Amino acid sequence: MPEHRSTAAAPSAAADGGATWNLRHGSAAAVRDDTCSCFAVVFSFWLFVSMTMMLGVYGSMTIVLGPKSSIVYQPNPFFVQSVKVENLEEKPGPGPILYGTYKYPPLDVVSTWGETNNVSLPSGSHKEWKYYLNKGSAINISYHVSSRSSSVFVIIAQGTDSLTRWLEDPTEPNTTLSWNVVHGTGMITQEISWSSSYYVALGNLDEDVEVALNLSVRALMHNTTNAYYKCALTNNQCSLNIFFPEGSAAVLVTPGPQQNASNEWHVKLSYGPRWVTYVFGIGGLTLLVFWAFNILNKLQCAHEGREGFRSEGTEPQRAPLLSQKDDDLSSWGSSYDSLSQDEEDLDFLPGGPIDGKFLGDGETSNNTKRLCAICFDAPRDCFFLPCGHCVACFACGSRIAEAAGTCPVCRRNMKKVRKIFTV
């Protein structure tokens, strides 16, 4: 039956050419889509990083400082161009001073200061004072309580939140360094182990009391002798430029305590972003990824072009999918030439069985769509993975898969063969 083989070969060649063209152009379109998707992902990621740096890590903040405080800010010079400080308090006398140093200033200046507070505490109330203390500082508190009641307490705690916040929600982390129930006269001493904000709170749980609280602080402050920049925050705003790429440090120092005045300063700190870094960063990273995907696209197209050239060649130039099936003993006696005359007559009769099914009126057994495109001996009873084409019998499909062959239709590498069972 040679006419059956030639009849099936022409549609197979056409299918091969169409599948190769679709595969080539479809893969190129997929690579272009991946490039655009990666471009959008990189752009979104860098935009998110930029917003996080400008609004989160280097966002503006309000700082509460006590007397004789010294705090250093040393931002990354690649992301920050300037440091701006504004005094939110309007009161007479000296105010905070902003210094600029080339390097992180040493913490070697010792300053001792103290203040006295006479407090009248009603029942169920408390009062607190906030300070910023560096590592190595010490707090000494001497007290005198007018009442013999033991319901007065003195707290020394770390953090910017007040005692009221902790009393409202005791589940928050307890940062208390010292909790003392006081009565009569006494003294409390607390060493500071790390630089941070602290507060001293005085509370009363029972009857009204009068408390005299004397606070003495031994503070370590940063040395600003070699500062190249100095600006007093009396009633204006100071701005310090950060050197690139060496960087520089901004040191904020508050004056000593003043009599008959509040010794707390509220200062607003903000950072000026270095826009060149953000613009060139997002542009450079995006262009780099875009260039990499263009190279990938060209390599993919070149590979598909070579595959298409091999698939569009003449039939003698193409490598056979399988070795001759005549060597397979399982195929002996399965050819149409070996069929008995009775079986041929049965197949050509209307309603006769072919491929496990019965032919209807008007159908003939020369319908090669039901036969294996490789051997034309057995029905098509398997499909290939991952492409899913069904063009061969299970024996031929298994031989192709074992030989690490490709699908006869789309030329994709075969991974598995699955048999189709007809019920």
Domain boundary among 243, 276, 309: 276
Note the pLDDT tens digit of each residue in 288-324.
777 877 787 778 777 766 665 555 544 444 445 454 4
CATH of the domain at 91: 2.60.120.380
Q: What is the pLDDT of residue 336?
A: 36
CATH code of the domain in which 407 resides: 3.30.40.10
Q: Is residue 205 part of a domain?
A: yes
How many other CB atoms are there within 10 angstroms of residue 191's CB atom? Answer: 11
Asked if the model's pLDDT at residue 9 lies above 60, the reply is: no
Relative to beta strand 97-101, strand 185-191 is unpaired
Residues 209 and 140 in one domain: yes
CA distance to 186, 264, 299, 300, per residue, from 293 (Å):
74, 57, 10, 10
28 lies in some domain: no
177 belongs to a structural domain: yes
419 band by pLDDT with thresholds 50, 70 and 90 = confident
In this predicted structure, the answer to whether residue 392 has a pLDDT above a threshold of 70 is yes
Q: What is the pTM of this model?
A: 0.59
- Same domain (yes/no): 331, 420: yes
Same domain (yes/no): 102, 240: yes
Tens digit of pLDDT for each residue in 194-223? 999 998 998 888 888 889 999 999 999 999
Domain match, 272 and 193 both: yes
76-123 pLDDT, tens digit each:
999 999 999 998 877 777 889 999 999 999 999 999 999 888 888 888
Overall average pLDDT of the 134-159 stretch: 87
Q: Are residues 144 and 237 in the same domain?
A: yes
Identify residue 379 by its one-letter amino acid code: P
Q: Please, what is the end-to-end C-alpha distance for the chain in angstroms?
A: 30
Q: Is residue 268 very low, low, confident or very high in pLDDT (cuts 50, 70, 90)?
A: very high
| Confidence at 31, pLDDT banded by 50, 70, 90 | low
Mean pLDDT rounded to a whole number for the chain: 76
Structurally, the chain folds into a number of domains equal to: 2
pLDDT, tens digit, for every residue of 340-362? 333 333 333 333 343 434 344 44
Residue 216 has φ and ψ, to the nearest 5°, of -125, 125
Q: Is residue 41 part of a domain?
A: no
276, 303, 337 - which closes a domain: 276
| Same domain for 117 and 237 | yes
The pLDDT score that the predictor gives to residue 161 is 72
Q: How far is CA 396 from CA 43, 61, 333, 407, in A?
A: 50, 74, 16, 11
- Token reading at 111: 């300053």
Boundary of a domain, candidates 276, 311, 330: 276
Q: How far is CA 95 from CA 83, 108, 252, 278, in A?
A: 18, 22, 11, 35
Q: Please give the residue that has the higher pLDDT: either 235 or 422.
A: 422
Query: What range defines the domain where residue 395 resides?
Result: 319-423
pLDDT grade, residue 171 (50/70/90)? low
Asked whether residue 15 is domain-assigned, the answer is: no
Domain membership of residue 129 (yes or no) is: yes
Confidence band (pLDDT; 50, 70, 90) for 402? confident
- Together in a domain, 406 and 261: no
pLDDT at res. 168: 67
Which helix (DSSP H) or strand (DSSP E) does residue 270 occupy?
Answer: strand 265-273
Is 85 inside a domain boundary?
yes
Q: State whether residue 21 is helix, strand or coil.
A: helix
Looking at the fold, whether 145 and 237 belong to one and the same domain comes out as yes
* Residue at 48 is within a domain: no
